[in-house]
Amino acid sequence: MAPVLLTKRIEFAAAHRYFRPEWDEAKNRAVFGRCYNPPAHGHNYMLEVTVSGDVDPQTGMVINLFDLKRVLLGMIEEFDHKNLNLDMPYFADRIPTSENLARVLWTKLEPQSDIGTLHAIRLYEDEDLFAEITAAGGLDVAGVTRRYSFTAVQEENQGRQWDCFVTIQGPIDPVTGMVTDIVALNRLVEEHVLAKVDRRDLREVFARTSVTGQSLAEFIWTSLVSRIPSGKLAHLQIVHSRDLSFSCSA
């Protein structure tokens, strides 16, 4: 039987700031945007930990959830309500981006033999942004997913809100601590996607009598894939409703 994946969520709060002390203010703001603003800003982080293992024939479980929760609570206690720049030695020489923080959390969890095999972790800064480290990708590679929302008419002259999740994957830059330039990615999506579809009738945009979700996903993918500033476009998902979404992957 194939291994089973089990995912547990846990929350903690921490503050951080993105900046390089050797850079001037103009360059820091250009690269890090609002994340540069002093003194720091806080997040209610959501950590998703996925472990892999065989189902124990006696307990019916991959891992005892009590044990997993105990390990996670013990780990995040070190980070909870801390200023990551000032209080955490892990970031003495690196920026506490979500990618770097996810990497640190991975290194603390992986040796824990009583939680099974670590498969992936996702670290949400908020509902619109998360970083992911996987066993398959290794510690130096991360995925970053950003959610963008827009309203568009697809059919029957009724507007609908769409959520578009853009996932960029690549090496974690040792200088910026980021996989991709989020400020540049936001501009890219605004210019090449949102400016063309937000508050528009998609039938007019595409010059068609009807527009499918598949067509919209393909349009967004094509608009972005060759323009990503760093890393690569690995996955794109647009959510039509709670019960329906459309995806493209590299």
Q: Tell me which residues are annotated as active site.
A: 35, 81, 125
DSSP 112-142: -GGG-EEEEEEEEEETTEEEEEETTT-TTEE
Q: List beta partners, residue 118.
A: 51
| Cα end-to-end span (Å), the chain | 29
Tokens 């499918």 correspond to 212
| Rg of the chain in Å (alpha carbons) | 20
List all residues 6 or more positions away from 140 whose beta carbon is below 8 Å from its beta carbon: 171, 172
**198 close to 162: Cβ distance less than 8 angstroms:** no
Token output for 37: 């603003």
Q: What is the 8-class DSSP label of residue 90?
A: G
